[in-house]
Structure 1
Amino acid sequence: MSVVVALPDGRYALSGAGAEHVTPGPPFTSRVAYAAAHVVADPLADNVPGAAAAPDWDATLAFRTHLWSHGFGVAEAMDTAQRGAALDYPCARELIRRSADRARAVGGAICAGVATDHLPPGPATLPAIRAAYARQLSDVQEAGAVPVVMCSRHLAAAARGADDYLSLYGRLLDEEADTPVVLHWLGPAFDPQLAGYWGSEDPQRAADALVALIAARPGRVDGVKLSLLDRGFEVALRRRLPDGVRLYTGDDLNYPDLIRGDDHGHSDALLGVLAAIAPPAAAALRALDTGDTGRYARILSPTVALARHLFRAPTWHYKTGIVFWAWLAGHQSHCTMLGGARSARSPRHLGTLLRLADAAGTLPDAELAAHRARAFFTTVGVDQP
């Protein structure tokens, strides 16, 4: 079978390099790594803008099993799963429950997002926001997942300064959290409505509030998931965290250096891009486990161009590329998305994605990927060989 595909900018022959990294393995020993997973939509359901989310549960859980098989933990019901967009909270709660059950069955690690997205859009009082967080925190704890307390659009709109964040989060951690949580700081590149989170437009002043919150509650916070896409700021914050509190990088552009670290420490990982590069990333992390930083860098280096393309502005549309890749890679039978989000990236963008995914070794079956790519690009008017 031919592996040549006509793309919007010319023909391309897939290399088949993805067949190299297919061996599953146990979790890593030197780093904690969670891959944020997408939701596979039911292609025959009414997954259109404004409709309630309708997942293909079997395919969704199969993808998580794939991630666990390569040693990753799964970060569930976060922004990669279209949380705060097309994934409504009733569906997110069911997703967390099902994924946590599957995690127990296969011995996999799982964390899950806690937010306030079941509140109606628009203004909310601080007591209502705290109660919303408490409800979702209870749901995640009952499911048995590590809670990731996500940023709240409601809180970003209602808070009048750092004291409101410190009071609300402090009571949540002191009164509602049964186990250590991960705090999530998602920057405006991912969600413009979260600008000024932690009480200031100045990231350094915002970091002061976050560090004060953590320092006042030893043992309550497992780590911080930082998604500001600023390598230098992440390193500086990592060095300010109390001993035993992890920095989980959410920097999908600079992850190789941040995970490798320096003489002062390293970042662990909670990344959307890990789902799309799981087999080669697993091989790289196992090299890091043995101290082979050269092999680690050689494996991860080709994935960076793919990651930067997936997460190019507008960054929040990266989920469309993740789903398109998952279809090419054989993890699902279609590229339909919740909320009709498939149209958020252009055919030219997706053609470049195919080239970069192949070069990064993330397409395990070149013939399947070529077959599906030809079908897709035919529908947008690109004649195939």
Structure 2
Amino acid sequence: MDIALPGEGGRSTPYALVGQPVQPVTGARFSRIAYAAAHVVADPLGMTDPWSRPVVDWDRTMAFRHHLWRLGFRIAEAMDTSQRGMGFDWTNAQELIRRSIAEARTAAGADLASGAGTDHLAPSKARTVDDVVAAYEEQFAFIEGQGGKAIMMASRALAAVAKGPDDYALVYDRILGQASGKVILHWLGDMFDPTLKGYWGSDDFETTLDTVIAIMERNAGKVEGIKISLLDAGKEVALRNRLPDGVMMFTGDDFNYPELIAGDGKRHSHALLGIFDAIAPAANAALAKLAAGDRAGYDALMAPTVPLSRKIFEAPTEYYKAGIVFMAWLNGHQDHFSMVGGMQSARGIRHYADVFRLADQAGLLADPDLAISRMKSLCAVAGA
């Protein structure tokens, strides 16, 4: 099967598909905890003002979560993959969280945790760390009131008002101290969100590492684990090696996840990854191999997904959501390539052409005929 795709210089060149669709393992059991941060499906026919008034196709959004659960993944709900802070606000997130928790109760073995942040508090409106604490308390109360587990997301408002590490310690200690259950912390780098530069009160990694470790040591009974998203395997390993007993590492490194999940023979990372949304069949099959002790089989399945992930998460990294939704559209999980906030326009047609090629080479075009048909339509609209 061939398709003409735009390439260097804007010229279209023939591309012959080479991949064989990966077959996921039904009922697979993993030796790692694997959260997939899931996207939301927009309703393009319901959006008269897509930049400021998103409308969600709840049926397709929930169906995609059941797809991930069937493949053995837990779901990290209402995180940055769902466009929190980039077109999807706390009002919409509450409905997403409420629906997802209810859906999880209907699916055997389903599990999820939901993002608690401060995104209903504009950074410009925050005056003190007490404002930030109150905002976190509101979101934690909603999630816990629904019977859910919270992921404590990084806060733009805290980054705006904090004067140093002590302010971060104050906020995290207060929130963790009153949480009703164990919490997953989320250390999100400024490549994902430029407003978080200097998070934890310093631009120096070793200083921030000391701050984060001290917070977890004081609150070890309330911290299930920490997700680190810095796209730097060495920094993740440095944090992993210092974790308090009983606290887990969840990799958020969409560049280096295979090696971090596999581990070094002494320690390994669990996973909380946006890329799992797009590569779920391959990740399912690979994690099943790892659980069976087949490291070579794991590597063979995971390795081709890395170039795809690096393309989807290339700079400007915060626009990776477009590639995630593009993959869902190519694979028939939704009938359109429209996003909340019109974010499908954040990447160009050559980027999508590269994602198409790499998805094929990773065996992640489940129905090649459908994917070709949809890619051709996108190229035509783009004038390619």
Same fold (TM over 0.5): yes
- 1:218 Cα deviation (Å)? 2.7
Equivalent positions of 1:244-255 (< 5 A) are 244-255=246-257
For residues 68 and 47 of structure 1, the distance between their equivalents in structure 2, rounded to whole angstroms, comes to 32
- Higher RCO (CA 8 Å, separation ≥ 6 residues): 1
- 1:26 Cα deviation (Å)? 4.1
| Equivalent residue for 2:165, pick from 154, 162, 165 | 162
For residues 37 and 6 of structure 1, the distance between their equivalents in structure 2, rounded to whole angstroms, comes to 31
Instruction: Normalising by structure 1, report the TM-score.
Output: 0.96
User: Can you list the C-alpha shifts for 1:146-179, whole angstroms capped at 9, x where unaligned?
Assistant: 210000000001000111011111011112x000
CA RMSD in angstroms, aligned pairs only:
1.2
For residues 92 and 73 of structure 2, the distance between their equivalents in structure 1, rounded to whole angstroms, comes to 23
Equivalent positions of 1:186-335 (< 5 A) are 186-335=188-337
Contact 1:22 1:364 (8 Å CA) reproduced? no
- 1:16 Cα deviation (Å)? 5.1
User: Can you list the C-alpha shifts for 1:315-343, whole angstroms capped at 9, x where unaligned?
Assistant: 00000111111100111000100011110
Please name the residue that 2:78 is paired with.
77
Comparing 45-54 and 333-342, the one that deviates more:
45-54
Q: Gaps spanning 5+ residues in structure 1: where?
A: none
For residues 71 and 212 of structure 1, the distance between their equivalents in structure 2, rounded to whole angstroms, comes to 33
Report SS of the residue matched to 1:354: helix
Instruction: Normalising by structure 2, report the TM-score.
Output: 0.96
| Equivalent residue for 1:132, pick from 131, 135, 138 | 135
- 1:143 Cα deviation (Å)? 2.2
Report SS of the residue matched to 1:376: helix
User: Can you list the C-alpha shifts for 1:289-321, whole angstroms capped at 9, x where unaligned?
Assistant: 111111000010000000000000000000011
For residues 93 and 306 of structure 2, the distance between their equivalents in structure 1, rounded to whole angstroms, comes to 30
Please name the residue that 2:175 is paired with.
172
AA of the residue aligned to 2:74: G
Report SS of the residue matched to 2:220: coil
Comparing 135-144 and 346-355, the one that deviates more:
135-144
Which structure 1 residue ranges, 4+ long, deviate > 3 Å from structure 2? 47-50
Please name the residue that 2:10 is paired with.
none
For residues 160 and 268 of structure 1, the distance between their equivalents in structure 2, rounded to whole angstroms, comes to 32
Please name the residue that 1:35 is paired with.
36
| Equivalent residue for 1:142, pick from 140, 145, 154 | 145
For residues 358 and 76 of structure 1, the distance between their equivalents in structure 2, rounded to whole angstroms, comes to 28
Q: Gaps spanning 5+ residues in structure 2: where?
A: 8-12
Comparing 274-283 and 113-122, the one that deviates more:
113-122
Contact 2:51 2:340 (8 Å CA) reproduced? no
Identity of aligned residues (%): 51
AA of the residue aligned to 1:232: G
For residues 317 and 334 of structure 1, the distance between their equivalents in structure 2, rounded to whole angstroms, comes to 18
Report SS of the residue matched to 2:52: coil
Please name the residue that 2:105 is paired with.
104
For residues 292 and 82 of structure 2, the distance between their equivalents in structure 1, rounded to whole angstroms, comes to 33
AA of the residue aligned to 1:140: I
